[in-house]
Amino acid sequence: MGILLQACGHQKDIETGRKVHNLVWASTQLKNDYILNTRIITMYSMCGYPSDSRSVFDQLETKNLYQWNALISGHIKNELWHDAMSIFCELILVTEVKPDNFTFPCLIKACGGLRDAGLGGVVQGMVVKSGLISDVFVTNALIGMYGKCGLLEEAVQVFEEMLERNVVSWNSMICGFSENGLFWESFDLLRVMLGAEEGLVPDVATLVTLLPVCVALGDVENGKMIHGLAVKLGLDRELMVNNALVDMYSKFGFLFEAEILFEKNDNKSVVSWNSMIGCYSSEGDVGRTFDLLRKMQIGDEDLHVNEVTILNALPVCLGESELLSVKELHGYTLRHGFQYNDLVANSFVSAYAKCGTLISAEHVFHAMENKTVSSWNALIGGCAQNGNPSKAIDKMEDKSLVSWNAMIAGYSHNGLPGEALHLFRKMVADENHAYGNPPNYIDLKQ
């Protein structure tokens, strides 16, 4: 049963997971097995159902640290940072259970997720009091937290004071530098790591962290160096490394290298396909973009086009000749409910406008529930491309202050200050508009 629960969690198979859960709890012999109950809690969290994890936890007659840790960790995995901290407060306030070197790293990660270094410092104080400050798992988490909060001096201090470092320690520090824009320092630290006395070698996480750094620096030579290191370490066929390499080469316009890596990948994920589709799209190759998209759809039945696929493919559609391709993608989007994603909807507004079909762009726009500045940008840009930038004004239905501001900003961002000023005057003069507050000038100034 335990193995089945683990498998359901990894596969995110919630339906089978619920059946296994019911079987366990139907057995008087198994219902109180703390290992199985811990795995049930973990399974629901891994499937994206932390509320079910909480429900299971609350029904347990007795709770040990493993179950508390599973519940806290599950909320962390689902990025419910505040909830995780609340559960920890329950743990220390209503029980005599002592947090351990698994609990504290979870809490520290929550502080990083919240970008709350002050709270992280409080947790660090608790760690010191508990005698776990030398634990490598705890210190690694502290480095990561301070890095996410932009406090690199504190991260470096923790790193340098460590009695024992593992590859995760180095990765956390490299990641901290890269997340804060210190890209060259990331590579300097890699070189120090390779020459360090610990004899540690980079792993998948090291390489996947550094490859986007090469793109940010526009440094394909270091990218090739990382590729060579991956081959030397036997990591080039690892899925995450392969995907990162394809993405890097595609962003540098090295289509041939990206294709070779993609074809060598025997275990392609949605990310793999999306990266290669994005590569063809960025090169303006409509044929290969949509050929690969169709191949993806008829390939592995476990792979499905997602929002990122749509967003990667649409930019290649730049004219009337691509209208059928846009409609093909739009049909798929409607069948799978992706139209509710704001980024996807905005992209279709732009794509239809670029193909000269403004009426279709307007239909997509009007179907959107939440029209943001980006939504108005897309519509106004489309109207401008089709020779009638003022037409978007006629499409304004909601006359709230937020909508006025969004539309004014849209004209301003599209390089149409005259229309923006005209719209501002129209807003002020509109007899149907009642101000609860003075007009917002911020977007107009932009």
Least confident of 29-38, 108-117, 286-295: 29-38
Q: Is the pLDDT of residue 215 over 90?
A: yes
- pLDDT of 10: 87
199 or 79, which is more confident = 79
* Structural domain boundaries enclosing 55: 1-97
245 or 337, which is more confident = 245
Angle, nearest 10°, between helix axes 204-217 and 239-251?
Answer: 10
- pLDDT of 85: 94
Choose from 92-96, 228-232, 250-254, 368-372 the range with maximum mean pLDDT. Answer: 228-232
- pLDDT of 27: 85
- pLDDT of 405: 62
| Contact residues for 98 (Cβ-Cβ < 8 A; gap 6+) | 65, 130
Q: Using CA atoms, how far apart are residues 409 and 403, in angstroms rounded to an integer? A: 10
- pLDDT of 299: 66
**303 within 8 A of 281, measured Cβ to Cβ:** no
- Let me know if residue 25 belongs to a domain: yes
Phi and psi dihedrals of 215, rounded to 5?
-65, -45
Q: Is the pLDDT of residue 216 over 70?
A: yes
Angle, nearest 10°, between helix axes 167-179 and 204-217?
Answer: 20
**pTM (predicted TM-score):** 0.75
- Let me know if residue 264 belongs to a domain: no
Q: What is the pLDDT of residues 344-356, one digit of tens each?
A: 888 898 888 888 8
Q: Is the pLDDT of residue 318 over 50?
A: yes
- Let me know if residue 11 belongs to a domain: yes
- pLDDT of 104: 95
- pLDDT of 435: 46
The pLDDT-based confidence of 442 (bands split at 50, 70, 90) is: very low
- Let me know if residue 213 belongs to a domain: no
The pLDDT-based confidence of 265 (bands split at 50, 70, 90) is: confident
Q: Give the mean model confidence (pLDDT) for residues 172-185.
A: 94
- Let me know if residue 5 belongs to a domain: yes
Q: Using CA atoms, how far apart are residues 206 and 201, in angstroms rounded to an integer? A: 9
- pLDDT of 444: 41
Q: What is the pLDDT of residues 422-437, one digit of tens each?
A: 667 766 666 454 444 4
444 or 412, which is more confident = 412
- pLDDT of 445: 46
The pLDDT-based confidence of 30 (bands split at 50, 70, 90) is: confident
Q: Give the mean model confidence (pLDDT) for residues 14-34.
A: 86
- Let me know if residue 26 belongs to a domain: yes
**46 within 8 A of 10, measured Cβ to Cβ:** yes
* Inter-CA distances, 376 with 18, 20, 404, 414, Å: 44, 49, 10, 10
- pLDDT of 409: 64
* Inter-CA distances, 4 with 14, 43, 47, 268, Å: 12, 10, 13, 25
Q: What is the pLDDT of residues 120-164, one digit of tens each?
A: 999 999 999 999 999 999 999 999 999 999 999 999 999 999 988
The angle subtended at Cα 278 by Cα 277 and Cα 283, nearest 5°, is 100
Q: List the structure tokens of 170.
A: 């180095």
- Let me know if residue 361 belongs to a domain: no
Q: What is the pLDDT of residues 50-60, one digit of tens each?
A: 999 999 999 99
Choose from 110-114, 357-361, 419-423 the range with maximum mean pLDDT. Answer: 110-114
Q: What is the pLDDT of residues 375-415, one digit of tens each?
A: 777 777 777 666 665 555 555 555 555 556 656 666 666 66
State percent of the chain over pLDDT 70: 85
Q: Is the pLDDT of residue 64 over 70?
A: yes
3-class SS of residue 263: helix
Q: Give the mean model confidence (pLDDT) for residues 23-40.
A: 86
- Let me know if residue 363 belongs to a domain: no
Q: Using CA atoms, how far apart are residues 221 and 219, in angstroms rounded to an integer? A: 5
Q: Looking at the 3D structure of the chain, how many domains does it have? A: 1
